[in-house]
Amino acid sequence: MSKDIQAVLAGFGGQGTLFAGKVIAYAGLIEDRYVSWFPSYGPEMRGGTANCSVTLSVEPIGSPLVTEPDAVIAMNQPSYDKFVEEASSGAAVVFDSDLVEPGDSRSDIQKIGIPAARIAQDAEMGKLANIVLLGKLWSITHFCERATLDEAIKKCVPPSKAHLVDMNKRALEMGIDA
């Protein structure tokens, strides 16, 4: 059974955090749940900060803002530093262990670091570290059915890039297995 989730995905613009958040949102839509996807990014976009709040719920959602996430994906140190402090007790905080050094003292959350960018590079999927991290988050939270995640990837990858669907699915699997 799928679980409700309030997630924040954060990194530099161009790392794919908004895309990964959209995948979670589409998974919720496919499963006919209430969904909120709220992007936030600086004017620089590429290289600036980018994050999104995503909520999937069986109940109506009161606000698109996620102020105490129960799941966080942090793709860089500034994102980790900011959102680890906001995470609710028991939250799953997934991060790229090559880019983030947890320096916080939180012992009430799950900290899961995997070398996502390196995993993607080694598999010649350079820009899919975001999807590797998404796979790891799914393996911990099960925010949707596994088949739904593949369907959501298909929905989010634009038709002009349909050849990347299978690569994204493989990146999910690598994250799940990491």
Distance CA 79, CA 161 (A): 28
**pLDDT for the residue 1:** 63
Distance from chain centroid for Cα 177: 16
- Residue numbers of the domain that contains 150: 5-177
Question: What is the predicted pLDDT for the residue at 47?
Answer: 59
Instruction: Provide the 8-state DSSP code for 88.
Output: P
Length of the chain: 178
Rg, C-alpha atoms of the chain: 15
Whether the Cβ atoms of residue 115 and residue 98 lie closer than 8 Å to each other: yes
Number of domain units in the chain: 1
pLDDT value, residue 6 = 97
| Phi-psi category of residue 45: left, alpha or beta, with phi > 0 → left and psi -120 to 50 → alpha | left
* pLDDT of amino acid 18: 94
Sheet architecture: strand order including 5-12:
34-41, 49-57, 5-12, 71-74, 92-96, 110-114
CATH number at residue 93: 3.40.920.10
**Would you state the structure tokens that stand for residue 59, as one six-digit string?**
């109940």
Q: How many CB atoms lie within 10 A of CB 84?
A: 21
Tens digits of pLDDT across the chain (178 residues):
678 999 999 998 889 999 999 999 999 999 999 999 999 876 555 556 789 999 999 999 999 999 999 999 999 999 999 999 999 999 999 999 999 999 888 999 999 999 999 999 999 998 999 999 999 999 999 999 999 999 999 999 999 999 999 999 999 999 999 9
| pLDDT computed for residue 14 by the predictor | 86
User: What's residue 13's pLDDT?
Assistant: 85
Q: What is the pLDDT of residue 3?
A: 86
> Could you tell me which residues come within 8 angstroms of residue 25 by beta carbon, excluding any fewer than 6 positions away?
35, 36, 37, 54, 56
